Structure 1
Amino acid sequence: MELARRALALLGVLLILASLGTPVSGWQAAQNGITDVELTGPAAVTEQDGSTFVWKDEPFNLSVSFLGEENQAYGVCTYRYQNGNQSHRIGCTDTTAQNATVTFPVGSWPVNETGPQTVQVVLTTGDGTATDLRTESVTVIEKEGDLDGDGLTNREEVKRDLNMTNADMDKDGLGDGAEVKNYGTGPTKADTDGDGLRDGLELQLGTDPGDGSTVAKLSAGGLLLGVGLVAAWVLLRRRRGGAERTADPAETTGESADEPLLTDDQRVIQLLEENGGRMKQAAIVDETEWSKAKVSRLLSDMVDEGRIEKLSIGRENIIHLEGHGPEAAKPPYSE
């Protein structure tokens, strides 16, 4: 019984250690194979969009790390692929180390090989059996090239810590090159002056994307415009009102304060008396500013009541008081 209890206790300890990730003698703590592939040196520029960017005319080191079994010989070979085809073997080396990092120095990439490429690493045992394979994306670029066509060279974008494959990093409607060279705005800040308007929108509005007072100026301008429109409307109303009113001598002399309002038919009679007893119907429309339909109905009613007379000459209607009709309308031998 005592032996059984000790065995169970040991098993419990082993299970706890295993759950905590603690290596136990005789157990493999990590899986064998390639653990890391890294490009370093002057040529290695940056990592963007899952690819390592390297200058084509600069040297670099390709380092490969791996885990293996004790007393086992390994071979590490590296290759360069372009467009899916193997273009060059970078290097191969043998080692018996269980946990090793091997480095392959590379002078530079071939002059005629630029753009997206692939580095392949193959780990084999001593008898040539492949045990692991790793591929890494590499983009070979020229310093004076312009990958994204934004007007900044690749060298300038690296110096400014910009993305060489994104022409408008802040998505403000302006290319990174234009922001740096033409407008002095920040290619990684959509609203350089912090006024709430994107840099590209400010240029469309004709404002300065570097002036943080733009919104305040636009607001003030809009307020002044609104006040001006209201003032113009009030002035226009006053002028129209003055034109519609006929000057009354009694008002100017102070003899009378208020004039009684005229009915529509009285207004028509007054107009006829002021114009020699007759007017064209179109002139009555213009003087009263009533609609043509209203004037036509009113005049028809007044004709029916015998208060005025209407004579059609061609396409015009002549409205007149009794005895004031056109001479052409009098019947022959009426004298």
Structure 2
Amino acid sequence: MTRILILSGTGWLGSRVAQRWIDRGAEVTSVARGRRAAPDGVELVVADRAAPDAYRDVAGRDWDEVVDVSSNPFHVRDAADALAGRAAHATYVSSVSVYADADEEDADETAEVVPAWNEGDEDDYARAKVAAEQAAVGLAARVAVVRPGLIVGPGDPTDRFGYWAARFAAAGEGTVLVPETRGRVQVIDVDDLADFVVSAGARAFDGVVNAVGEPHPFDEFVALARRLAGHTGQVHTVPAEWLERHGVGYWMGPRSLPLWLPDDMPGFATRSNAAYLAAGGRVRPIEDTTARVLDDERRRGVSRARGSGLERSEELDLLRVWEGETATGV
């Protein structure tokens, strides 16, 4: 029987990967803290990956595939040390955030990455992912390094991608605030990513790929979300400078407009996915992903408090200020 070990594998992506391996008839073990349940049929080994004995229950077994999604390079290094010689193949899920700049459009996997994080440095997600990639090489003789872009889909815990469809659905006939931008939106559906992680392991794919979808102009994506949500109200498109002056942030987090980026980052959401597609990766149409996310947002509540985005009350306050300034020519 195929034996799969998933490290930190009970989260949003990891549980999907585990379920796919179960569906293939594999024997699946997950090492995690136990804060979330593992899918039915998965052996859950409860362990803190920072503990010296974290891999005690799995280090003595042989594995056909090891999957690691950690952003902590020490966790990845310790796993590689504990499992040395035990895994036929490994897949490490990294991020396109590892790249050093966002100036070049359609940049591929050969683009320069940031320096690896070292102990004692300030916390830095991108540099930690680079260090983790380097450590992941020790997990097996053949290693797939998968660099996703923004992962989206039903159940997204970050609240970013779903903000727009949910906001238009909640607003109904009301006005919605949109940033003026030349930016793009480039995402990967969580289910497409999970499929690729599993297929990469099944055929022992060895290499690095940017797991990203096609780039879409931000305004076209917003228009798509509005159409799917059935919004019939007005849309006020507001300059970036005005939004920044009124405390609205980029990309994610409270009081932000999610997925919006400064215009001086033309390459950020335009990474090449040629290697991913050549390796068998799937990219479903963004219309399909957005529709699935809208259904999920409606189930969860389109007016709920969110981890990313403007609260509706904040948006309405900003709209009143904008309309007042526009009316008086300020």
TM range (shorter): under 0.3
Larger radius of gyration: 1
Query: If the length of structure 2 is used for normalisation, what is the TM-score?
Result: 0.23
Task: Say which structure is richer in strand.
Answer: 1
Structure number with greater CO (CA < 8 Å, separation at least 6) is 2
